[in-house]
Structure 1
Amino acid sequence: MYGDGPIRNRMPRADRVDVDVVTAVHAAYARFLPNLWKSLREQTHPSWTWWVEVDGDADEVTEALTGCGAALDPRVRVNAHGGAALGPATVRNLALHRGAARCVQTADADDELEPEALSLLVTALAEHPGTGFSVGRARDLLPDGQLLEVPVPLAPGLLERGALAAHWVTTEDTYRLPVPPACAMYLRDLVTVLGGWQAAEGMEDTALLMAASAATPGVLLPDPTLRYRRHADQRSKQSRTHFVEGPQVRGVRSRVAGLLALPPWSRAAV
């Protein structure tokens, strides 16, 4: 809830915190799911559920999950609405509301999580009780398997309210995010208060992260938590050019300004 009173409760011990890992996937990205599944099996954090929400036809996704063994794991929940594609924001929100875990982590179908990703992100939230989200760093995963560090213009530690939006560059000739939005873990209550992922083409996760940063402090980890796959079919590459200085960025910044004018969000009692 919003309010200026003290934090009313603390996170339980980090290794006891449940995490919902949310993945929106369409048929063209089904081939990447076995790699993401492998990275989930390697997680050092013991308590997680993978919510796979299929956008459109489910046949290729089901085949991929069956082939790699994920479909047989009780920690994997697969849902498909059928029909026309709804887009990643709507599909992620469907997955969000199917789950009930204390923390929520997005995992794009074509990316992979580092083995300690969930443990590090949950621990950061537990150790910083005034925060609503934690975010790690990313390493680019190139087609040849090489991993390259992605520089971050912020020092690890507490992120003050609005810091991410202040470092978000959207000038006429440059677009640069201070941290990769896909590296963020959120408290479920915060995501729900903010309305989930915003309907913004190609920047659904950016809009949520900027809103979260405007609502509450966060914490930036010094460690990489995500392997961000670079490939020719990346959706972000196809949708970036026409909206950078358009109404979507203005809308996100307007939302940030409105949230910063409100009292900070604090963790609700559970």
Structure 2
Amino acid sequence: MRVDVVTAVHAEYAGYLPAAWDSLHRQSHPHWTWRVHLDGSPDEVLDVLTACGAADDGRVRIAAHGTQEGLGVARNIALGACTAPLVQNLDADDELEPGALADLSGALAAHPAAGYAVGHARDLHADGTLRTAPLAVPAGPLARGALAVAWASALPDRTLPPVHPAGVMWRRNLLLVVGGWAALRGVEDTATLIAGSALATGILLDVPTLRYRRHDAQRSRQNGNFSEGNICSSGGVPPYSPADPPGKSGNQQGRVG
């Protein structure tokens, strides 16, 4: 299955793009397009993409909107250009494991009712060390609402969601149903994961798929915490079906907000 890999980037993170690009080159899954969307001034990012060779690859699409609106907005503009049935987020400062696209797309092909798939995330430290954290929920099928329930039950001891939201592969239709990435600075992917997992079942793989870079400039460290009261279950929410057209879920008009 074809995969659109979406990366939103601003000048501050331009220097990490060659590593992200190299991780795409190592993918065993050949059917991907990298959609890089520039937030803010494009010059430095374009220079880096040209220097590493990404700008000259026919599988790479580079776009910009000229103003700095935030990474959530940039991702959603890129999502509007996606044509593949599957969408993989890749933060500019992260890397995909070599088998990530093959493993995740294979899981969704094997489970046609699932709306998303995700695997382990390994922390990538400045010295190149990779460290794996144990999964907070068992690998295998994820029922609707299971991630929100698991997260709420772990609070206040564990403030992070049960799986890493930056490494999720989505069915494009499900992303459109939830309105794309949420407009919450620093936790766009977390809020989207909780919303999407309330509508659809998912698959958790017991393999690493994401290398999550640890560094001092990380924006995800600069956000406020969700409280237990902000995490809702899927009760009363109509289920998502992969056959639903964008804007529809469970034969009801989809709503955002």
What's the TM-score once normalised by structure 2's chain length?
Answer: 0.91
Evaluate the alpha carbon distance shift between residue 269 and residue 250 of structure 1 in structure 2; reply closer, same or farther with a 3 A threshold.
closer
| Residue of structure 2 aligned with 1:159, choices 142, 152, 172 | 142
Paired with 2:236 and 2:210, the residues of 1 have a C-alpha distance of 32
Instruction: Among all aligned residue pairs of Structure 1 and Structure 2, give the percentage whose two residues are the same amino acid.
Output: 51
Distance 1:269 1:263, change over 3 A: closer
Whole-Å separation in 1 of the counterparts to 2:150 and 2:170: 20
Match of 2:36 among 52, 62, 83: 52
1:260 paired to 2:243:
no
The answer for unaligned runs of 5 or more in structure 2 is: 246-257
Alignment-derived partner of residue 103 in structure 1: 86
Which portions of structure 1, spanning 4 or more consecutive aligned residues, are displaced by more than 2 angstroms? 169-174, 242-245
Structural RMSD (CA) = 1.6
TM-score by length of 1: 0.86
Q: Kindly report which structure 2 residues correspond to 1:106-117, keeping only aligned pairs within 5 A, or say none.
A: 106-117=89-100
The amino acid of 1:185's aligned partner reads: M
Equivalent position to 1:244, from 206, 222, 226: 226
In the comparison of the two structures, how many residue pairs are matched?
A: 244
- Are 2:96 and 1:121 equivalent residues in the alignment? no
Pair 1:82 & 2:66 matched: yes
- RCO higher in 1 or 2 (8 Å CA, sep ≥ 6)? 1
Amino acid at match of 1:113: L
Matched ranges for 1:154-233 at <5 A: 154-169=137-152, 171=155, 174-233=158-217
Aligned residue for 1:21, secondary structure, equals strand
User: Matched residue of 1:122: which SS?
Assistant: helix
Deviations 1:82-119 (A, max 9, x none): 12x11111110000001110000000000000000000
Separation (CA, whole Å) in 2 of partners of 1:118 and 1:173: 32
Q: How many Å separate the matches in 2 of 1:188 and 1:250? A: 29
* Secondary structure at 2:27 match in 1: coil
Native 8 Å contact 1:215 1:260 kept in 2: no
Q: Secondary structure at the match of 2:215?
A: coil
Residue of structure 1 in register with 2:251 after alignment: none
Q: Which runs of 5 or more structure 1 residues have no equivalent in the other structure? A: 1-16
